[in-house]
Structure formats: C-alpha cells, structure tokens
Amino acid sequence: MVKYILPEDIALDIKNKRYKAAIAGLNALYDKANDDYILNDIAVLYFKNNQLQLAYESCIILLESSREPKIIVTSIAILLEMGHLKESEEFIQSHSNLIDPVQKQALLSKLDRLNDFVFELHRKNKFKEILKYFDSDREPKNYDEYLIYADALIKDKQHLHAIKFLEHALNLNSENHAVLNALASCYRKVGRAHEAESYFLKAVKIADGSSNEAVLNLANLYSELDQPAKVISLLSDDTNLAYTHPKANEKVSLELLRASKITEALELTYKMYESAGDNAALKDPYINILSLMGHVKSEPNNLIKLHNFCVAEGENLISEGIRNGHNFLITKFNSLFSDYDVSTYTLQSQIYFGRVGTLGCGRHFRLFEAYKIIPKSCFSCFKVQINVPSLTNLIELSLILKNLKLPNDNSRKCMIEMRDGVSGRYKGFIYCNSINECNFVKDKLLENRIQTDWIKFKHGCSEYGHKYPQFESTIEQDYTEVYQDKWDDIEHTFDQNIDILKLNEPYQYETKNWFNLRDLMIIKNWYQYAFVKEKFNFPELSEDLFYNPYIRQLALKHP
C-alpha cells in the first residue's frame, strides 16, 4: 500500500498542534478513501489530543485488518503507551512475521520496561513504594499505571486523590466494571453520594451478574442514605443476593430488624443457615442477627433455644468455668452445644456490652480519609483501654464489663488483637466523652480489681494517632496544639458538600447487658487464638475442642 500524501493545510494544523482541526480533516479524507495510513495518522493524533478511547479503538481496527508493518508497529506502540500491555504483547506475537526483528525487539524491550517498574511493586503489594515512586515528580502515564497508582492511594486511604486517576483510567476504558466500582467507592468514602450511586449503577449494569461487589457497595450506600426500601429491593428483588450471599443476607436482615420486622429478619437469615452446610460464612448472618437480641420470642429452633439459654445462664456458666479451669469451661461449652445439636462456629472475635450499635463516626472517618485532618469533635472522644496479660484475665474482664454500672451505659467491648501493625493480645475498651468520664470509669475498674498498670487513656481513633502522633499526647491538654486553623474551613466546606446525611447519626440497636450464643462462640475463638499464641500455657487442652480455621489463620499472621 502506498502512503497517501498529507494535504498541506492538515500538515500545518498538526505542526501548530491544532489536533482537533487536523483530526476533522483526516476523518473527511478517510471517509472518502478508507486508507489505513489515514486511520493510522488519526490514531496518532487522537493519542496526542488525549482522546484515548478513540485512539485505542482506531488501533484495534488497524491491528485486526492491516498488514502494513509501519502501521502495525505504530499501533502497538500507542497501545503500549496507553498501558494495554497484555493486548500489546498478544499483537506483537500474532504479527511477528510482519514486523522487522529489530522493531519487534524494541517493542518487547519497552514492554519489559513497563512491566518491570511499578508492576513488580504492585505484584508484591508494595504500596508505599508505589506512592513514593509517583510522588517523585512522576505522573502515571498509561492505563495500568493509573490503576496501580489509584490502588496504592486507596490502600493509603487517599480516596479523594485516587478519584483523579481512576477517572483517567475510565477515559481509556469506560467498560471496566471494577474501575467503575472503585471510583464509586471513592466517591462514597468522601461523602459524595450522587456520584457514587451513578457509578455503582453503571458498574452493576456492566458486570451483569459476573461480580457482586458493586451491588453490595451500592446497598451499603443506600443504607447510609437511610433508604431501607432500596436496600431490600436491590438485594432481594433485583439480584436475589439476599438468599445466596452472606453480606447481602445480613444487610437486608439488619434493615428488617431496624424496621422492627424481627420475624422476617430471623426467617431470612435462618434460610441461609439451613442451606449452608459446613460453610461458616453463610451461617454467620443468623448468629449475628441473634446477637442483637436478648431473649427471642419467635418460634424456637435449636439455635434460638441455645441462644435463649445463653442469655439466661451464660454469665453463670462462664463464672463457674473460671472457678474450675479452662478444661472445665471449654468442655462445658462443647457439652452444651452438643445438647442442642449446634456444631458451627462464628467468625467474630469481639464481645460488646452497653449501648450496642454505631457511634455515629461515619462523617468523621470520611473527613479524615478525604483530607487527612482530625475533626474537632473527635478531640472530645476518648477510650479507656484495658490491656490484660492472659486469656483468663480477658474472660474475667468480659464479666466485669458486662456488670459495670455506668451512668451513660457506655459502649464497651472485649477482644483479641488481630489488626495489622497493632501490638498486644487481650484487650478491653470503654468509650467515653471526656477525661472526667475516663477517670470515673477508671475508678470503677479499680473497684473491680483491675490493676492500675493495665489501664490507659487514649484518644479514639487509632488511625488519627498514626497520622498525628501528637494527637495521643494531647489527651489532657488543649486540642489547639494539634487542630490547625485551616481545618475549620475544610470541615465547613466538607459539611456543605457532603450528601450522606445519616453518617453522623448514632444508631443503637439495644442496650446489651447479657451474654448470648455468639458471645460463647467468641470465647471459644479466644481459646483458639490463645492456643496459637501460647500453646504451652494450655497443656491440658486439645485444639479440637475449639478449632476455628479462620481465627487460627488470623492469629498466625498477627505477631
């Protein structure tokens, strides 16, 4: 094929970087001549003019139809620049007999270089190194780099910054449901619900049932917007996920529970429980929904009967176990479960008392994640942390927190530590609104024989202290030592723009001052954790008594 002669007026437009005019002129020529060389020049100009989707489509047309070596090499080079590495490699191989060996090697070398830099870092989950790489005056330049950088930003909770690069990637490929879902999730994280809903809906449509992630995220968004009917419709009527997916099942059940439709909530989760077989993840929603109730009056099955027994007698059973030793307690638990023909376990590891629900921190987390500032109201949020040295102490602490009499019935919990980068093993937390309240709680704990050196005051949340270490040291000092003047304006602007209105509203399911079925299962999980961490302290126990593969794996990962 003989290359066409470029008209002088179009050549002048290209020389002066008037790409839009040049593209219009070339398209007019292409309509008449249908010449691959014209389309090749159009693809190059689309790329230079940042019309990347059109450049991509033009290159694909050429690579699927042309046998001209120069056109093939140019099209592959453009695909490489845009980051379509897998497709580039496939075209290099499929057109190998048409490409000059020297040019082929050059393309392969470029492919290797692109694969080597950030791709190796991403494969190794070295997100901090990726951030450092791009922060050193180097912008991502192609599709894969946009996604890799955005992923690293999201891992670092820089959702606002990640939006820019996800949108760049979307300009290159608007049909990737995973990118749409990631972009929607970032908008949700910074409180921009309208954009989040729009992109989630696009992701759901394109995925067309091949992925559930966008559906579940959209349901979470509707829940935050206090639109329970949309949650139920999306997960029950539109997708049927409520009957097959544990997160969807529990999400719909929680909405039913909040609407006081207790029977419906229990029936929905129990259907999944019955069909779950040995899959603990599918059984957990029913156990979790039960855990939000005291004595259940619905028509009893074995789990409800056992749950009601635990609510009535759980504290006595645990107290008796502590007096008689670990082997007695865990054997008693297993005997009880066997009597009721219950053989499952839970994936949960924290026991809650007091005002169980949410603390209404959604707005504050969004603000911190978007702008890396600590909201002013968080300086009056504190927690009393109790670090106990052993499993025995942790079980005893659960009894103390259950019976602790506090005027505000503060939210409190006992837990085993499994978070990355957080030291310690056995902990309790009581959430407070002032230092005076912390001191009052401390006095109550001391009255219950909790040792002074086990107790310390902390600001909530831990994430703030990681970003601003001085935040932890201002517990009894003026917050202005940390809070910066410009943060006030940022908070004001954020609150004007945020459209997830429910984020800062605490929700309380019920005041809880009892042990339930899930709590006894969690104590068994504590045994699994302790057995991994300090097996030598339990020579009389066999791991079969409390084996939970999920908790075991997490315990092995935590230092």
Whether residue 501 has pLDDT greater than 80: no
Across 417-548, the runs of DSSP E, i.e. the strands, are: 426-432, 455-459, 508-512
- Among 350-354, 400-404, 461-465, the least confident range: 461-465
More confident position, 307 or 558: 307
CA-angle at 18, arms to 16 and 22, nearest 5°: 115
Q: How many CA atoms within 13 Å lie on the side-chain side of 83? A: 21
Mean pLDDT of all residues belonging to the chain:
89
Strand 426-432 to strand 455-459: parallel, antiparallel, or no bridges (unpaired)?
unpaired
More confident position, 548 or 471: 548
- pLDDT at 143 (0 to 100): 86
Sign of the dihedral through C-alpha 298, 304, 306, 307 = negative
**pLDDT level of residue 478 (50, 70, 90 thresholds):** low
pTM above 0.85, yes or no: no
Q: What is the mean pLDDT of residues 305-332?
A: 95
- pLDDT at 423 (0 to 100): 86
Domains 8-121 and 127-225 share a fold: yes
User: Residue 352 is inside which H or E element, if any?
Assistant: strand 350-357
Q: What is the mean pLDDT of residues 300-323?
A: 95
Q: Give pLDDT tens digits for 183-220.
A: 999 999 888 889 999 999 999 999 988 889 999 999 99
Q: Give pLDDT tens digits for 514-545.
A: 999 999 999 999 999 999 999 888 888 999 99
Tracing tokens 């300009």 back to the chain, one arrives at 171
User: Residue 387 is inside which H or E element, if any?
Assistant: strand 382-388
Question: Quick one: 127-225 is in which CATH superfamily?
Answer: Tetratricopeptide repeat domain (1.25.40.10)
CB-based contacts of 14: which residues, under 8 Å, 6+ apart?
A: 22, 45
- pLDDT at 339 (0 to 100): 96
CA dist., res. 219 & res. 498, Å (int)? 18
CA dist., res. 470 & res. 459, Å (int)? 11
Whether residue 308 has pLDDT greater than 60: yes
Residue count of the chain, please give it: 559
Residue 426 tokens, joined: 């056995």
**pLDDT level of residue 2 (50, 70, 90 thresholds):** low
Whether residue 384 has pLDDT greater than 90: yes
Q: What is the mean pLDDT of residues 114-120?
A: 73
**pLDDT level of residue 29 (50, 70, 90 thresholds):** very high
Sheet containing 412-416: which strands, arranged edge to edge?
455-459, 382-388, 426-432, 412-416, 350-357, 508-512
- pLDDT at 251 (0 to 100): 92
CA dist., res. 112 & res. 133, Å (int)? 18
Q: What is the mean pLDDT of residues 288-311?
A: 92
Domain boundaries, the chain: 8-121, 127-225, 350-512
CA-angle at 165, arms to 162 and 168, nearest 5°: 150
Residue type present at position 258? R
Assigned architecture for domain 8-121? Alpha Horseshoe (1.25)
User: Dihedral, CA atoms, 443, 446, 447, 450, nearest 10 degrees?
Assistant: 150
User: Residue 351 is inside which H or E element, if any?
Assistant: strand 350-357
Instruction: Determine phi and psi for 301, rounding to 5 degrees.
Output: -110, -175
